[in-house]
Amino acid sequence: MAVVELLNLNNVVFRTYVFWTGVLVLKMFAMSALTAVKRFKTKTFANPEDLMSPKLKVKFDDPDVERVRRAHRNDLENILPFFIIGLLYTLTNPSTFLAVNLFRAVGISRIVHTLVYAVVVVPQPARALAFFVALGSTAYMALQVVAAAF
Amino acid sequence: MAVVELLNLNNVVFRTYVFWTGVLVLKMFAMSALTAVKRFKTKTFANPEDLMSPKLKVKFDDPDVERVRRAHRNDLENILPFFIIGLLYTLTNPSTFLAVNLFRAVGISRIVHTLVYAVVVVPQPARALAFFVALGSTAYMALQVVAAAF
Amino acid sequence: MAVVELLNLNNVVFRTYVFWTGVLVLKMFAMSALTAVKRFKTKTFANPEDLMSPKLKVKFDDPDVERVRRAHRNDLENILPFFIIGLLYTLTNPSTFLAVNLFRAVGISRIVHTLVYAVVVVPQPARALAFFVALGSTAYMALQVVAAAF
């Protein structure tokens, strides 16, 4: 298959990649919203111009805000590399079954990661498992991409 | 239209996407330069090997340096997802008028965000407005992308 | 050349881009592994649910852990923009010789950056040089991309 067929929504692999990429971008933006909610709830603002009352001072160490920020940073470290590797993996014309399930694995496990990290704290190894499913799937795709271009 | 016409600089939508993506990458790199300027001005270095004099110690809490770093991190959270969603949105063959103006909205509002956050501090809601214009435009594109692949 | 030939592994420019993008994603994931190793070695955990013993407390300021995290964040700031710009630069149909060597320069210098920053600390200007080779190469590509779309 050439790029004309590969980067086409009729190609189930590309379609699944596009779907989960869109969902994960929206999920990442939800982290910004959640950070804002926690900042207002705990009155934790990092900039003097954000303080809504002269009685408030800038604050950087609220545990609730910092937890969401750590989850968000973890997204940057793991989801953003997936976006490009998923696209390049699609261009290597992989097995449909494998590719579709790898994309689903990344999408679902990163949503679970957020839920157990930043929404309702679930004891380990919940977060570690979610983390490793997404990391393993993306790393496998990266290895396939490197092998295809070697 | 197929990918051959879509990912082509003769396609105004793709051309506008490419232009603003290039501009925003350069803008993000300007944050690194600005961080370096602030670090040298305030002698705030995070690593022992960066200290230029044995009298200096590592420092992590200079408010000017931290402000630029917060602006830079906000870029990572918002501009990097735009890069991939803008590309996938282009591949959904959107209305030229809408797509071109969404890309412009993201590009201009993220530049304004940097200016009012890290260059000249402007009272709120300047930064909030710039933030929401870019976030809203990118989220709209993400929704369109998800809908196209559903 | 049209996108059909450009986004094709027979195109040496695209092939080199794909190879180094895959390698750099794996390199970035190695930072997560290295952070975990340092966290366990120094018993520095940021979340209460990560503590393996009731005697431990959350800790945020271990210098070894923070050094790896700074290197990782620097990857986010520099490697992630390269992923998209390298792809768009490939789509501008650049000189093969120049493009291949720019991609190699980014790939190798970012690996060196990690080695001298987070694995074995090497005195400056080792890290600064590695940083500027990658930044300069990526910024050049971004300028070419902007010029092509202007």
Mutate to test the interface with C, among B11, B14, B47, B111 (most CBs of C within 10 A): B47
Please tell me what DSSP assigns to residue B90: H
Q: What is the pLDDT of residue C90?
A: 97
Could you say which residues from 57 to 86 on chain B have a Cβ atom under 8 Å away from some Cβ of chain C?
Answer: 72, 76, 80, 83-84
User: What average pLDDT does the structure give for chain B?
Assistant: 96
Please indicate whether, in this complex, the C-beta atoms of B149 and A8 are within 8 angstroms of each other: no
pLDDT confidence of C2, banded at 50, 70, 90? Answer: confident
What local confidence, expressed as pLDDT, does residue B36 receive?
96
CA–CA min distance A57, chain C (Å): 22
Q: Which residues of A touch C59 (CB under 8 A)?
A: none
Judge whether B22 is closer than 8 Å to chain C, CB to CB: yes
Residues of chain A with pLDDT under 70: none
CB contact under 8 A, B84 and C84: yes
Mean pLDDT of B33-51: 95
Sequence-distant (≥ 6) Cβ neighbours of residue A143 within 8 angstroms: C22, C26
Helices of type H across chain B: 3-6, 12-42, 63-91, 96-114, 126-149
B38 CB-near residues (< 8 Å, 6+ apart):
B44, B62, B64, B65, B68
Contact residues, chain A, for C9 at CB < 8 Å: 92, 148-149
Contacts of A81 (CB under 8 A, 6+ apart): A138, A142, C25, C28, C29, C80, C83
Tens of pLDDT, residues C41-91: 999 999 999 998 889 999 999 999 999 999 999 999 999 999 999 999 999
- Domains, chain A, ranges and CATH? 3-149 (1.20.120.550)
pLDDT digits (tens, 9 = 90+) for B60-83: 999 999 999 999 999 999 999 999
Q: Write the pLDDT tens digit of every residue in C89-139.
A: 999 999 999 999 999 999 999 999 999 999 999 999 999 999 999 999 999
Question: Average pLDDT over chain A, rounded to whole?
Answer: 96
Mind listing the pLDDT tens digit for each residue in B98-119?
999 999 999 999 999 999 999 9
> Percent of chain B at pLDDT above 70?
100
User: To the nearest whole angstrom, how far is the Cα of A52 from the nearest Cα of chain B?
Assistant: 10
- Looking at residue A2, its pLDDT comes to 80
Chain B environment of A7 (Cβ under 8 Å): 3, 7, 91
Q: At what angle do helices A63-91 and A126-149 cross, to 10 degrees?
A: 30
Nearest to C49 among A92, A121, A142 (CB): A121
- The span from the CA of C44 to the CA of C61, in Å, is 8
pTM, two decimals, is 0.96
CA atoms of B9 and B57, how far apart (whole Å): 51
Q: SS3 sequence, C98-114? A: HHHHHHHHHHHHHHHHH
CA–CA min distance B133, chain A (Å) = 13
Tell me, what's the pLDDT at C1?
A: 72
Distance CA A28, CA A49 (A): 25
Find, among C144, A90, C82, A25, the residue nearest to B84 by Cα: A25
List of residues 6+ apart from C113 with CB closer than 8 A: C71, C74, C127, C130, C131, C134
CA distance A39 to chain B (A): 14
Q: In chain C, what is the straight-line distance between the N-terminal and C-terminal CA atoms, in Å?
A: 19
Report d(CA A21, CA B79) in Å as an integer: 15
Q: Is C84 in Cβ contact with B26 (below 8 Å)?
A: no
d(CA A13, CA A21) in angstroms, rounded, equals: 12
- The DSSP output letter for A133 is H
Reported as a single tens digit per residue, the pLDDT across A78-108 is 999 999 999 999 999 999 999 999 999 999 9
The angle formed by the CA atoms of residues B73, B76 and B78, to the nearest 5 degrees, is: 110
Helix intervals (H) in chain A? 3-6, 12-42, 63-91, 96-114, 126-149
**Three-state secondary structure string covering chain C:** CCHHHHCCCCCHHHHHHHHHHHHHHHHHHHHHHHHHHHHHHHCCCCCHHHCCCCCCCCCCCCHHHHHHHHHHHHHHHHHHHHHHHHHHHHHCCCCHHHHHHHHHHHHHHHHHHHHHHHHCCCCCCHHHHHHHHHHHHHHHHHHHHHHHHC
pLDDT band at B4 (very low <50, low <70, confident <90, very high): confident
> pLDDT > 70: what percent of chain C?
100
Specify the pLDDT at position B2: 80
Question: What chains are in contact with C, requiring at least 3 Cβ pairs below 8 Å?
Answer: A, B
